[in-house]
Structure 1
């Protein structure tokens, strides 16, 4: 399956995005990208080691501490950190892993794909959401 097909499948399937590396700094993509996705109907679950609140939502220190089933994991972490995030995503039962623009990792790809996750790297959720003209799917 090519990347464009995976991107569209992910955006049409998942109504919740667990954001690893979410930020409370409005100037950072890890803040304004999830904020944009909220504006288009997606639920966001922020993950940040500091915890607290991001975008008015409780932020969990790790993926393992998210108290609901994790589906799509969106990553705002440097490429060298993504293999560990991929392992955590697999352990948490995620079914899709998305590395944001300028983030790539052959190792993270292998970990994710070997576990059967849909995998996208080096793509921005905002760019893809706008390109496809999609809003969040309705919760079933």
Structure 2
């Protein structure tokens, strides 16, 4: 079941390292500005974008699987279309099982995949969908 209550969202927002799948190099796009906001608020942002070498001063990786296991990813934040979310959730589950580090998958506002959410929850991961991490952070933490 997706996380939606404020107490559980606060605990999710307490994580420190966020891999942002679909992180953008373009200021003004949500997929750039929201990770920049998270970075300004103390999160370690790990950009995942196969078309960039660096975003927000951080090395960008082609896929979640390419993020070195030496980087302890707590949360995977997804800025890709809903139809791509399932594969990303599966990659997060795989990384959680192999590296033991991913705790939560967060699908940004207007991104949903109930079946992928069920798989994430069955694998013991927290799952948030159709919510903006920046909005929830500003509302609950800031």
With the length of structure 1 as denominator, give the TM-score of the two structures. Answer: 0.90
Considering only aligned residues, what root-mean-square deviation do their CA atoms show, in Å?
1.3
Determine the C-alpha separation between the residues in 1 that align with 2:36 and 2:73.
Answer: 19
Determine the C-alpha separation between the residues in 2 that align with 1:33 and 1:20.
Answer: 12
Deviation of 1:6 after TM superposition, in Å, equals: 2.7
Matching residue of 1:90 = 93
User: Which runs of 5 or more structure 1 residues have no equivalent in the other structure?
Assistant: 135-140
Matching residue of 2:59 = 58
Q: Which 4+ stretches in 1 moved above 4 angstroms?
A: none
Matching residue of 2:134 = 126
With the length of structure 2 as denominator, give the TM-score of the two structures. Answer: 0.88
Which residue of 2, 10, 22 maps to 2:12? 10
Matching residue of 1:22 = 23
Deviation of 1:8 after TM superposition, in Å, equals: 1.1
Deviation of 1:126 after TM superposition, in Å, equals: 1.0
Q: Number of residue pairs matched? A: 133
Deviation of 1:111 after TM superposition, in Å, equals: 1.5
Matching residue of 2:113 = 105
User: Which runs of 5 or more structure 2 residues have no equivalent in the other structure?
Assistant: 97-101
Determine the C-alpha separation between the residues in 2 that align with 1:27 and 1:121.
Answer: 22
Determine the C-alpha separation between the residues in 2 that align with 1:129 and 1:79.
Answer: 22
Determine the C-alpha separation between the residues in 2 that align with 1:111 and 1:17.
Answer: 20
Determine the C-alpha separation between the residues in 1 that align with 2:8 and 2:63.
Answer: 26
